[in-house]
Amino acid sequence: MKLIFVGPQGSGKGTQGKILSKKFGLAHISMGDLLRNAKGERKEKINQFINQGELVPIDLTIELISERIKDKDCENGFIFDGFPRTIEQAKELDKIVKIDKAIEISITDELGVKRLANRWSCKGCGEPYNAITKKPDVEGKCNKCGGELYQREDDKPEAIKKRLEIYHKETEPILKHYDSVKVDGGQEIDDVTKDILKILK
């Protein structure tokens, strides 16, 4: 099973990707993680784009993706979270893999901004937290590894607004390309998961 989760920043794509990849034994491929974990010169190039809220060039993203889907944990399939983000990327992806289903996790811009402005991540293991919906047990510390929590540069208000503009302009058109199915990402996490499971049955 090869799936794509599409949705604006803050929609819960990553959360659902983690839940459902465990349930079905699929690899959870987060474009954000691939970009953040890039090494050396490639990492420097990528960071320049990310910190300005710009999309990373297609040749770099396709290179990372094509390397990642060859890994052993992708044998049963995978869930793409945050990729593709443009029609051009979708067409390039079509050349290397056939996607079974695209699911749109839909939320309002207002909710996206609210969620992201309150989002923090662990510097050690990358675990996400939210000042409203998922607080750590000890303020500023990760429950999993005890690492320090920080707010990503691209989760600050100006970068969020820019990313949402890019989403509407560049990413929404891929929903038609994949004939995606829509779920309401404004619900509780468990309810979103149930809706996705109904689609996948």
The model's pLDDT over 114-126, given as tens digits with 9 standing for 90+, comes to 888 888 999 999 8
Pick the catalytic residue from 45, 95, 119, 144. Answer: 119
By the 8 A CB rule, do 5 and 17 touch? yes
Tokens of 173: 């058109």
Q: pLDDT value at position 124?
A: 92
Pick the catalytic residue from 36, 152, 162, 182. Answer: 152
Full domain range(s) for residue 71: 2-200
Answer yes or no: is pLDDT of 155 > 90: no
Tell me the pLDDT band of 134, cut-offs 50, 70 and 90: confident
In this structure, what CATH number is given to the domain that contains residue 11?
Answer: 3.40.50.300
**Is 115 a residue of the active site?**
no
| % residues pLDDT > 90 (the chain) | 59
Please give the tally of structural domains in the chain. Answer: 1
| Average pLDDT across the chain, whole number | 91
Answer yes or no: is pLDDT of 156 > 80: no
Q: pLDDT value at position 152?
A: 81
Q: pLDDT value at position 122?
A: 92
Answer yes or no: is pLDDT of 113 > 90: no
**Is 36 a residue of the active site?**
no
pLDDT tens digits for range 4-54: 999 998 899 989 999 999 999 999 998 888 988 888 889 998 988 888 878
Q: pLDDT value at position 36?
A: 84
Distance in angstroms (rounded) separating the CA atoms of residues 108 and 67 = 34
**Is 42 a residue of the active site?**
no
Q: What are the DSSP calls for the chain, one per residue?
A: -EEEEE--TTSSHHHHHHHHHHHHT-EEEEHHHHHHT--HHHHHHHHHHHHTTPPPPHHHHHHHHHHHTTSGGGTT-EEEES---SHHHHHHHHHH---SEEEEEE--HHHHHHHHHTEEEETTT--EEETTTB--SSTTB-TTT-PBEE--GGGSHHHHHHHHHHIIIIITTHHHHTT-EEEETTS-HHHHHHHHHHHH-
